Homo-oligomer: A and B are copies of this chain.
């Protein structure tokens, strides 16, 4: 038996309000807003560029270099993850990104000598998620794994 009734969905506004990861991304973006561009923007609007549909991705060329704004969007995503890890483990970390001109590369989150997050990137020009829900699922998964590593190998993270 199928039902036509939609499953009750949380509004984007509600999701953002209740999700620490999204809150942290917004906080970081607002903190690095030298010209006050975001001052009158809603959180939802600020987060909008993180949602890139499959159709939109197809239209983004991967031939050129990754532009500064996309790169900083990637870094902010991982900085927010680093912040979640810090809240759980107390470990302060650095985010480093190394992209070739073809959008391939690495993003690393590390504390001391421990890599809490280690990800290869490809087609970074197309960085984005199908939806905010997908962003949260992916980001929380990465954070969870980093938290476990940080707890298990705290000695290496303190080096």
Q: A residues engaging B (CB < 8 A)?
A: 94, 96-98, 105-106, 108, 110, 112-116, 118, 149, 153, 156, 159
Distance, CA A14 to CA B124, complexed state (A) = 46
Q: Can you list 7 pairs linking A and B with CB atoms under 8 Å apart?
A: A96-B98, A108-B108, A113-B114, A113-B149, A114-B156, A115-B115, A153-B153
Asked if A153 contacts B113 (CB within 8 A), the reply is yes
Distance, CA A149 to CA B119, complexed state (A) = 22
Question: Distance (Å) between the CB of A18 and the closest chain B CB?
Answer: 31
Chain B CB within 10 A, most for which of A113, A118, A159: A113
The interface residues of chain B lying within 8 Å CB-to-CB of A116 are: 113
The interface residues of chain B lying within 8 Å CB-to-CB of A98 are: 96-98
The interface residues of chain B lying within 8 Å CB-to-CB of A118 are: 110, 113
Q: A153-B156, A156-B153 are in contact. Are A96 and B108 (CB under 8 A)?
A: yes
Question: Distance (Å) between the CB of A121 and the closest chain B CB?
Answer: 11
Chain B CB within 10 A, most for which of A97, A112, A115, A159: A115
In the complex, the chain B residue whose C-beta lies closest to that of A98 is B96
